[in-house]
Chain A
Amino acid sequence: MRILDTIATANGNLTKNKLRTFLTIVAIFIGAYTLSLTNGVGTGFGEYFDTQIANVGFANSLIITRKNESVFSGNIQEYQGAKKGNFGLTVMKPDDLTKIAQVKNLRNVERTRDVSPEYITNGGKKFELRISPYLDGLQQELSAGRLITPTDKNGIILTKPYVEVLGFSNPQDAIGKRVIVTVKDPQQKTKEFELIVVGVRSNALIEGGSLQASQQIILDMDKYESGGVPSLENEFLFATASYDSNLSDNDIASIKNDLLKLGYEGQTIEDQIGTAARFITIFQIALNSFGAIALIAATFGIINTLLMAVKERTREIGLSKALGMRRLTVFSLFSIEAVLIGFWGSLIGIAAAIGTGALFNNVATKSFLKDFEGLKMSFPFMNNLRIMLLIMAIAFIAGTLPSRRASKLDPIEALRYE
């Protein structure tokens, strides 16, 4: 029998008991739908993180802190004379930078400056803010304007929500405008700093909603905030350093190791994102196992359906064998039928998942994912193909038992079967 005839006949056999076939396909559908949907979420997050890392373009840098027992570990630390700052992090002093600079392969070791301004305003309402220094060479996606250059003494990069609340009609409108950021000194005296908007950032997960300003103006703010007290001014929580982009993963690991020996912890951008990505992975594994359980249940559905079909078609099989149909062809007819159940179930399941994903993306990007531009469910073709092939393979394996039974039928017995 020709292979195309075999496939066509197997497909035709699917319609011999429509309701039963339909119900079996529904079982496969549920498994395929769940798998495809969870992969859509996982892939969407993955793609988002990748573009975020690409956006940051700052991958060759480490954020360094003093090594700490986590505040959540429950171990109470003995006092060692070191002061604790925000987030339970140990405060660093300038001589820490000297020590860090000794680590092999590390360059441009610098402290970060943290200021906690009171508010930002455009002359009208006042709004809270977080602000950090713009680090030279940091690449990011902008909606309007440009990045800060070293010649900008008082530049600021806003985010889209700030453009809106500060009363600018659109990102382009904000460029070149003046905004005021105020800082308090230790005596609670307020000073206004004038900044010029040079760019508006596309929304990004990394750096959160923090605004970025020229290093010079941040330095000025920091000095004012610490009231000229050197002990305060010379304290900081984070240091940054960069390394060569051609270093291997092993080299980076040994940098981190060297830092640990000195009592510091270094994290790459990937490390920071990795923590978030791990949660997504765990979430995905959990959902995928639901899909897998649904598929296992569906497998028994296929076996059951085909065993019933073998019973129903006993005489038909007997006739075909009497007329010279080969055992292998009989086997193929039933196993192709199983694979087709897998094919239709997964096709409909994946199509439904893509539909659901499109609907979700449509709603979500306008509401709760509004601030995460580019974060959406994603269904690349290869992923769908892989899910389909997996399900068809499972269906084939499920089909082997009934197919074998059919192929072994004795034509005389089968023709006598009532």
Chain B
Amino acid sequence: MNQKTAQIVVDDIKKSYGKKQNIFYALNGVSLSIAKGERLAIIGKSGSGKSTLLHILACLDKPSTGSVLFENTKTSALNQKSLDKLRNQKFGFVFQQFFINPNDSVVDNIALPLKIAGIKKRARRQRAVELLKEVDLNDKAKSRARDLSGGQKQRVCIARALINNPEIIFADEPTGNLDTTTGTQIENLLFKLNNEKNITLIIVTHDEELANRCDRKIYLKDGKILKEERNRK
């Protein structure tokens, strides 16, 4: 793949914990390039380093050695403020455990990234209501988040991930806590957004079926890329 069109370029990153004889590599030399609009699945067993890789790609964590380029900028050169801003404005996150604030309303949960960004209450609520349509939750605007079903909660999370018009959505086991039918609906929603808005999708999963719907699969084992497969469309 041409490096110039790549959105993220990862070059030989290692992430280690502990020192000397106790040293443990969660990632041990991973290189990878992700194109804008690509759907990438990162597959591996627990302990394979897939979550660590996702965290580093999402600028939530820093590699011990090696470099990450986001849109041709070295993320290690950015200060904490710029990293916070980057995550807030260009990334969207979907987690297996949802991480929504149960006592807040659906709208407030969706609008959280805009609140952090400093957008006025009216504007962010308006945007949140728009997104409710997109995830098919029009009638739940006023509901408390805790009153929703699992599938509805994950749709709230997707709406939250979309509210800042992100470049990339990072999804950590997005269907892991859902039954098959609901899981499939969430997958469809994610892929639809990818199609319509050309949002890059980076999905960590151990679900082969979900991985097969992506453009590319990366298998991780013991902190290294075991194999890489490209799916036929």
Instruction: Report chain A residues within 8 Å CB of B89.
Output: 324
Known contacts being A16-B103, A322-B60, A322-B93, is A329 close to B116, with CB within 8 Å?
Answer: yes
- Write the A1-27 contact mask toward B (1 if CB under 8 angstroms, else 0): 110010001000000100000000000
Interface residues of A in 321-351 (CB under 8 A from B): 321-327, 329
Instruction: Report chain A residues within 8 Å CB of B191.
Output: none
Complex contact B80–A327 (CB within 8 A): yes
Specify which of B60, B85, B87, B115 is in contact with A5 (CB 8 Å cutoff): B115
Instruction: Report chain A residues within 8 Å CB of B115.
Output: 1, 5, 9
Known contacts being A1-B116, A329-B116, is A323 close to B93, with CB within 8 Å?
Answer: yes
Measured CB to CB, the closest approach of chain A to B154, in angstroms, equals 14
For the complex, is A291 an interface residue (Cβ under 8 Å from B)?
no
Interface residues of B in 74-111 (CB under 8 A from A): 80-81, 84-89, 93, 95, 99, 101, 103
For the complex, is A412 an interface residue (Cβ under 8 Å from B)?
yes
In the complex the two chains form, what is the Cα distance from A299 to B60 in whole Å? 35
Instruction: Report chain A residues within 8 Å CB of B99.
Output: 315-316, 318-319, 415
Of the listed stretches B117-125, B181-189, B202-210, B213-221, name the one at the interface; the rest are far from the partner chain. Answer: B117-125
Instruction: Report chain A residues within 8 Å CB of B84.
Output: 321, 324-326
For the complex, is B55 an interface residue (Cβ under 8 Å from A)?
yes
Instruction: Report chain A residues within 8 Å CB of B55.
Output: 412
Specify which of B81, B103, B113, B121 is in contact with A323 (CB 8 Å cutoff): B113
For the complex, is A52 an interface residue (Cβ under 8 Å from B)?
no
Specify which of A320, A325, A412 is in contact with B60 (CB 8 Å cutoff): A412
Known contacts being A322-B87, A325-B84, A326-B81, is A1 close to B118, with CB within 8 Å?
Answer: yes
Known contacts being A1-B115, A5-B121, A329-B116, is A323 close to B60, with CB within 8 Å?
Answer: no
Tell me the nearest residue of chain B to A321, going by C-beta: B84
For the complex, is A411 an interface residue (Cβ under 8 Å from B)?
yes
In the complex the two chains form, what is the Cα distance from A326 to B116 in whole Å? 8
Give the interface residue-count category, chain B: 20 to 34
Complex contact B60–A411 (CB within 8 A): yes
Complex contact A415–B116 (CB within 8 A): no
Complex contact B116–A320 (CB within 8 A): yes
Instruction: Report chain A residues within 8 Å CB of B88.
Output: 323-325
Instruction: Report chain B residues within 8 Å CB of A1.
Output: 115-118
Complex contact A323–B116 (CB within 8 A): yes
Instruction: Report chain B residues within 8 Å CB of A415.
Output: 95, 99
Instruction: Report chain A residues within 8 Å CB of B93.
Output: 322-323
Complex contact B116–A325 (CB within 8 A): yes
In the complex the two chains form, what is the Cα distance from A324 to B80 in whole Å? 10
Complex contact B112–A323 (CB within 8 A): yes
For the complex, is B61 an interface residue (Cβ under 8 Å from A)?
yes
Complex contact A323–B101 (CB within 8 A): no
Measured CB to CB, the closest approach of chain A to B159, in angstroms, equals 13
Instruction: Report chain A residues within 8 Å CB of B80.
Output: 326-327
Measured CB to CB, the closest approach of chain A to B93, in angstroms, equals 6
In the complex the two chains form, what is the Cα distance from A10 to B128 in whole Å? 22
Question: Which residue numbers of B lie inside 8 Å of A, CB to CB?
Answer: 55, 58, 60-61, 80-81, 84-89, 93, 95, 99, 101, 103, 112-113, 115-118, 120-121
Between-chain CB contacts (< 8 Å), 12 pairs? A2-B118, A5-B121, A319-B101, A320-B112, A320-B116, A321-B84, A323-B93, A324-B87, A324-B88, A327-B80, A329-B116, A411-B60
Give me the 10 closest cross-chain CB pairs, A-B, nearest first. A324-B88, A324-B87, A324-B84, A319-B99, A325-B116, A323-B113, A2-B118, A324-B116, A1-B116, A326-B84
